[in-house]
A = this chain, B = another copy of it.
Amino acid sequence: MSSQAGQLFRISTFGESHGGAVGVVVDGCPPRLELSSEDVQRELDRRKPGQNRFTTPRQEEDRVEIVSGVFEGRTLGTPIAMIVRNQDARPSAYEDMKDLYRPSHADYTYEAKFGIRNWQGGGRASARETIGRVAAGALARKILRERCGTEVVAWVERVHDVEAKVDTDTITEARVDESAVRCPDPAASAEIESRIDAARERGDSLGGVVGCVARGVPPGLGEPVFDKLEADLARALMSLPASKGFEIGSGFAGTRLTGIQHNDAFVPGDDGRPHTRTNYSGGVQGGISNGEPILLRVAFKPTATIRLEQDTVDRDNQARTLAAKGRHDPCVLPRAVPMVEAMVCLTLVDHYLRHRAISTT
């Protein structure tokens, strides 16, 4: 189990879905940052369950308590521990699944690895684990905004085969959150809503793609050859529950272009440094940010928890059937949006601090 991440902005998350609490300790946050629990709560509210009919009906207030590292409204440079109590846990709902391995869940693999698992609501493998990430991400976002002017915005780009059109130069969080499913293209949003309604009704689930842009990232972030910026972004995003793919810039589609089509020609910038005419690179070249917007996409599979009957196996390797109970999202995409933003912010702030160590400007 490695629930620690980051080289200089280090986070250590904890908590099971139906345990006492979930949370995070942030070590290495720069001192003197203004910070209140409202800064964090705002992000947690975007992530929390029960926001509307498109998310799990589990009722959790997800109130964060900051128990250390802040003094008179400012960070001390010491570890910031943040904790959220679990309230609406209903472990009994999982009682009859405790000897079964739910298909495409982590039940079997946790058992294979640890020889034990918390079968209540997925335990540590529940998306509830991401509360610690989102709380820490709120700090990271604040630092990036105040120190670098960086803005990170994610959105639902596609659900099943319903694709949104999004202008990555102008998209804002406010526009994204106007949509109940966090898809800022109204037509696509409406269609996605009805698809999710239909999937929930028939006990099925949907997947899709979240897009994300980070504007105002200074040139120079990223540490080749192994901690290239896109490598650490990929790792961060592929560590989210249900993610199956990652692209930066032109991604898989760009492999269908030729070199002369794909290369981003440099043009002199008014700010005294080169800019690129196109941005197939997605803001990263040679593993280091070039100052253009960072563009990335993450694939999320259809939710594994479905009410339809499925074949499975129990702990004694006997064939069984299962129709899952428990509360869940028929489509994780809308709530994945703040998770993606959090992971991008955490990755960028860590690289921002790492780069400061050697930068001369």
Q: Are B78 and A123 in contact (CB under 8 A)?
A: yes
How far apart are A231's CB and chain B's nearest CB, in angstroms?
4
Residues of B within 8 A of A277 (CB): 311
Among residues of B, the one whose C-beta sits closest to the C-beta of A227 is B2
Q: Are B209 and A77 in contact (CB under 8 A)?
A: no
Query: Which of chain A's residues 322-361 have a Cβ closer than 8 Å to chain B?
Result: 353-360
Give the contact stretch, choosing among A28-36, A38-46, A166-174, A184-192. A28-36
A287 vs B259: C-alpha distance when bound (angstroms): 35
Query: Which of A19, A224, A251 has the largest number of chain B CB atoms within 10 A?
Result: A224
**What string of 1s and 0s marks CB contacts (under 8 Å) between A21-65 and chain B?**
111010110111000000000000000000000000000000001
Q: Are B160 and A274 in contact (CB under 8 A)?
A: no
**What string of 1s and 0s marks CB contacts (under 8 Å) between A221-246 and chain B?**
11111111011111111110101111
Q: Are A220 and B266 in contact (CB under 8 A)?
A: no
Q: Are A114 and B304 in contact (CB under 8 A)?
A: no
Q: Are B113 and A262 in contact (CB under 8 A)?
A: no
Can you sample 28 A-B contacts with CB below 8 Å?
A1-B27, A2-B227, A4-B4, A8-B357, A14-B67, A14-B69, A16-B68, A21-B67, A32-B114, A76-B117, A76-B123, A104-B262, A113-B221, A124-B225, A158-B255, A160-B256, A160-B258, A209-B252, A226-B239, A228-B239, A231-B235, A244-B247, A247-B252, A252-B299, A262-B301, A274-B313, A277-B311, A356-B357
Q: Are B250 and A244 in contact (CB under 8 A)?
A: yes
Candidates B20, B76, B227, B305; contact of A16 at CB < 8 Å: B76
Q: Are A274 and B32 in contact (CB under 8 A)?
A: no
CB of A103 within 8 Å of the partner chain: yes
A198 vs B248: C-alpha distance when bound (angstroms): 28
Q: Are B28 and A1 in contact (CB under 8 A)?
A: yes
How far apart are A115's CB and chain B's nearest CB, in angstroms?
6
Q: Are B80 and A14 in contact (CB under 8 A)?
A: yes
A289 vs B359: C-alpha distance when bound (angstroms): 22
Q: Are A104 and B285 in contact (CB under 8 A)?
A: yes
Q: Are A259 and B27 in contact (CB under 8 A)?
A: no
A305 vs B260: C-alpha distance when bound (angstroms): 9
A149 vs B45: C-alpha distance when bound (angstroms): 47
Q: Are A251 and B245 in contact (CB under 8 A)?
A: yes
CB of A109 within 8 Å of the partner chain: yes
Q: Are A113 and B222 in contact (CB under 8 A)?
A: yes
Q: Are A219 and B112 in contact (CB under 8 A)?
A: yes
How far apart are A11's CB and chain B's nearest CB, in angstroms?
8
**What string of 1s and 0s marks CB contacts (under 8 Å) between A62-101 and chain B?**
0001111101001111111101000000000000000001
Among residues of B, the one whose C-beta sits closest to the C-beta of A118 is B71
